[in-house]
Amino acid sequence: MRGSLFQGEGMLSTGVQAPEFEIQLHTGELFRLSDLRGKHHLALFFYPKDFTYGCTKEVCNFRNHFAELSALGAVVIGVSRDPLESHASFASKHALPFSLASDPDLHLAQLYEAVGLGGLWLKRITYVIDKDGVIRGVLHHEILVDAHWQRTIDLLKTLNGPTT
């Protein structure tokens, strides 16, 4: 992925072990990356804010392609600074089949180098993490929100190998 439109400077690199984390989801569950080990891939996407035009479009793209993402063995989690209450309302309004995580203090965003402008906002970054906890894709583009879901699916297909 290095050198592609989506790999940005100042982000974690592909091929490295994803930093372990634990975070509260809007569903009330506590998510740990280690719980997926050996079971599922993870599409972890950071977005700036619930209920904004670009973020709603990005989240709904993941929603619209959730069945395919799931069929490829991926768990999908969206992360923003918004409180869990906002996430619950946002998820309900848009019928999201995946969870949203609240990162108000930007601890996870800093760990995944997804903080922009001195901590004022989150970068629009999607990390594709394989079943072994290795980062296999880093997708970053602030404007082309439609590209994240498609590139995520392409990477997951590659991770799953050729189909027969």
| Domain boundaries defined on the chain | 22-159
pLDDT tens for each residue of 14-37: 999 999 999 999 999 999 999 999
CA–CA separation, 159 vs 72, rounded Å?
9
Where residue 163 falls among pLDDT bands split at 50, 70, 90? low
Q: For the ranges 33-42, 116-125, 152-161, which has the lowest average pLDDT? A: 116-125
CATH of domain 22-159: 3.40.30.10
**10 Å Cβ neighbour count for 71?**
11
Q: Are strands 135-140 and 125-129 parallel, antiparallel or unpaired?
A: antiparallel
Q: What is the pLDDT of residue 7?
A: 47
Band of residue 144 on the pLDDT scale cut at 50, 70, 90: confident
* 60 catalytic residue (yes or no): no
Q: What is the pLDDT of residues 70-93, one digit of tens each?
A: 999 999 999 999 999 999 999 999
pLDDT band at 10 (very low <50, low <70, confident <90, very high): low
**Among 12, 42, 43, 55, the one annotated catalytic:** 55
Report the chain's mean pLDDT, rounded to a whole number.
90
Q: Which residue did the predictor score with more confidence, 146 or 55?
A: 55
